[in-house]
Structure 1
Amino acid sequence: MTKFWQYRILTAVRRELIWAAGIGITFGLIIAFGVWRINSSIKPKELNEIQTPQPKTNSEFKITLNKPEQNDVVTEDLVTVSGITKPLTWITFSGENDDYIIESGTDGVLVQDVKLVPGVNQIKITAFDPEGNQSIEKVVIVYSSSFQVNSASPTSAQDSSDSSDIRLRVQEKVREALNKPKAYLGTVTDIADSTIQIKTSESQIKQISTDTIATTVVKTGTINKTVKLEDIAIGDFIVAMGYINSNSVLSAQRILIASPVTEPKIEAKLAKVIDLSKKTITAQTLNEGQNVTITPGAKTDMQTFILGKLASVKITGIVQGDLIIYITDSSTDTPVIRSVFVIQQPQN
């Protein structure tokens, strides 16, 4: 092979090596740049997720009721509502006709007597803390002075052993549950022999057993009228009162044929007074920051609630900066202000 051809071959090899090296370097730079871009896009996001605080929630601010229980039947026109919530919060209780206000204790305990009306009573409990956060609980109970409460027989102690004591306590709890009068409320969907089936507002199916002698049926209205079991028809809304057995069947002692129960449009709001006139109060709600105009009526209950004491007050006794809780009933076309409670006044 001549030197000329050796030179040509070596030159071609060098050129291929240079091209290969250039392609390799370029490919390596592309990969390195891609890795750098991926890392730069992931790491700040991870850092941001760690350093950014999550929004605060008020999941711990709630009302837990002890008594009464849902759908309890009572025979007195006054019921004691008790439970626990966040300590030192303002709490309103709205019954069928009246509103009440208290402040929970340092232990969060709340207790208030609420006046009842005959029949179904819906009680709404609203708690507010100074920051404007709120918690709401509702309970439905039925008041009937004609309902006959069964007297629970006392438990006789037969054995003083620990296991016997536990067994007796369990038996007592079961006996109390079975001897506690309850109500089923709903629309009749089926009637067969001595059984009525209803559908509740929560779309639950409930069974009610009846007896032609032991069950009293009353059709409510302007004048209540005692009728027969046969007068109950599919589609009627009824309130059945009695005792629930272990199969969740309510043995009815008393049944009301009534108008359907709808949830009342009663709402309590915490607000700060920003302006006043002779007949109106302008305030800003704490939780929403909305300006509202409050026009108390002749039947509006207006009181101050300072240091646990209530006292009547008029608009002229309210000043800018006062903290108030006002309760509105929007069940009619024209909302009505049921109550205004002045709960905090500016320091002089």
Structure 2
Amino acid sequence: MKKNRLFAILIAFFTFSCFAQNWKADHVFLIGLDGWGAYSVEKAEMPNVKTLMDAGCYTLKKRSVLPSSSAVNWASMFMGAGPELHGYTEWGSKTPELPSRVVNEHHIFPTIFSELRKAVPDAEIGVLYEWDGIKYLVDTLALNYHVQAPDYNLYPAALCEMACKYITEKKPVLTAICFDNPDHVGHVDGHDTPAYYAKLKELDGYVGRIVDAIKEAGIYDNSIIIVTADHGGINKGHGGKTMQDFLTTFLNLYYRLTYFVYLNYKRCQFLRLNNSILNSTLFSTIKLSSRIPIFFMTDKTILFINKPSIKSKCKM
């Protein structure tokens, strides 16, 4: 009897394992919170983000490239390479200060958006943002849709509303939604302040609404949702070499990765990645976890998903 029970458990385990390994998403949503330092996660009131953390895998040790500023780090995420290759090196880079190692037909270092466009010409691809510096880093010629939201000081929910409308109407294959906060509050009121945490609570509400829009569009079960940041900060600034500047959060709602932890018939609820990963690994993460057939990779990318060094936790 015990042998039969053990055999049944093993069959179930390997069946689920094969399903999990073969599963790939058809839709990827990147939600970026500019200036969201990893130090804040434990103290922040962010129930929607923490629900995603409980359902997926995450790390609080994702490292910015240097300098720990905006354009150089958004470029590294979108391009899957560090500044020594793509050439964008400053907070507000609009063009590379160093010659890019390679450029595509649009005369920009290849991005995840341009590579998807080449691989799947009819894919719906969109980028929505508040900070206008984003548009210089995404290769807008590769996009179906890119738009800057109006001033968030006057219309704080505008980007969220625009993103929800786009998702429900177009069901895009790849979407980046880039908020300019909590960075702005960090500069005005300071990091690790009541105003900073109030803004995180507000942003968490927008994340929840975007997730609801994905569900309304009928594509939630076939989607990857990534929530991350470009850099952190300390006092009223960033760009330095402190760990508060340097460490950001990376959350990947890819719950099917949890297949390899089965204990007492109860499935592991979340994975905490103990690895230090880099902003430039975002490209390869999307490549690994979705059906998006992107072939451009650089020697800077680090493939970390499903490596034995991942430490898991289970809620029993």
Task: With the length of structure 2 as denominator, give the TM-score of the two structures.
Answer: 0.24
Greater strand share, structure number: 1
Task: With the length of structure 1 as denominator, give the TM-score of the two structures.
Answer: 0.23
Pick 1 or 2: higher relative contact order, CA cutoff 8 A, min separation 6.
Answer: 2
